[in-house]
Structure 1
C-alpha cells in the first residue's frame, strides 16, 4: 500500500546552516503515518479509550541530502502488516525525484501499560501482507 504526503519547509524547520534540522525529518514521516491512519478510518482516540495505542519500536534512517527553506517535499510511504502486532513503513522524503531522507519504521500495537496486542481487526483487514 502506498501513500503520498506533501511537506513545505518553513524557516522554523531549518538550523543555523539554513538546512532542515535532522530531527524534523522524523516529524515529517510521523505526520505522513498519522495521515495514513486517518485515511484508513482508524480512530486512535477510540483505540486509546479501549487501552490500545501505537508505539514506534524501531527507526532506521539515512540522511542522503539536505532540504532547505522554501523547499516543497513529498513523503512517500509504503506500508504493510507484519505479524499480529507490527506495522511496517518504508518512507522516503523527496524533493522532486531526489530522495533526501529514507527510513524504515516499525510500529507496534500495545496496551497503554506496554503489553503487545494484536492490530485491530479493522486495520488488519485493510493492510496488505509483505511481498514475498
Structure 2
C-alpha cells in the first residue's frame, strides 16, 4: 500500500506556554492525515458514508520521540497497514518538515510514531459491521 503524507504548520493554539506541541494534539494531527488520506481516494467527506456506518477509533498506540515547537512545519503520514472487513489499521508518523525536502526520505527519525485502529460500526448499536464496499475497494487497491 502506498504512502501518504499531509503537511501541517504548528500554531500557538497547538502549543503549551513553553511553545511545545501539547502531546494530545498529535492525535488531532493524525486524524487530519487519515481524513485527507480517505479524501485522496475519492471520498471528499466521510459524512457521505455516514448514512451507512460510522467510524470510531478502536485503539491508539503512540511513542513520543521529541517535540515539535511553535511555527515548525511537520509532515504527518497515514499508511494503511492492515485492512479487515470492519476495520482499518494505520501506521502513522510525524516528522519535522525540512524546507528543502519534498518527501520523507531525508527527514530522519520521526518525532512521533503510532498505530491507530479505526473500526466501522453501526449507527444504532455501535456494533462492528462491514465497511462500505466502495471504501474497502479503494483502500484495497491503495
Give me the TM-score of the superposition, normalised by structure 1.
0.89
CA distance in 1, matches of 2:24, 2:86: 26
Structure 1, unmatched stretches of 5+, are none
CA distance in 1, matches of 2:114, 2:78: 9
Aligned to 1:29: 30
CA distance in 2, matches of 1:41, 1:80: 19
Look up the SS of the partner of 2:140 in the other structure.
coil
Aligned to 2:19: 18
1:83, distance to aligned residue in structure 2 (A): 2.1
- RMSD of the TM alignment (CA)? 1.5
The 4+ residue runs of structure 1 with deviation greater than 4 A are none
Alignment of 1:82-93 (within 5 A): 82-93=83-94
Aligned to 2:46: 44
CA distance in 1, matches of 2:47, 2:67: 35
Structure 2, unmatched stretches of 5+, are 98-106
Segment of structure 1 superposing worse, 33-42 or 103-112: 33-42
1:13, distance to aligned residue in structure 2 (A): 1.0
Q: Could you list the per-position Cα deviations for residues 44-92 of structure 1 after superposition, in whole angstroms to 9, with x for gaps in the alignment?
A: 2222223x11111000001110100010000022114432111010000
Give me the TM-score of the superposition, normalised by structure 2.
0.83
Aligned to 2:95: 94
Report the count of equivalent residues.
128
> Relative to total residues, which structure has the larger strand share, 1 or 2?
1
1:119, distance to aligned residue in structure 2 (A): 1.4
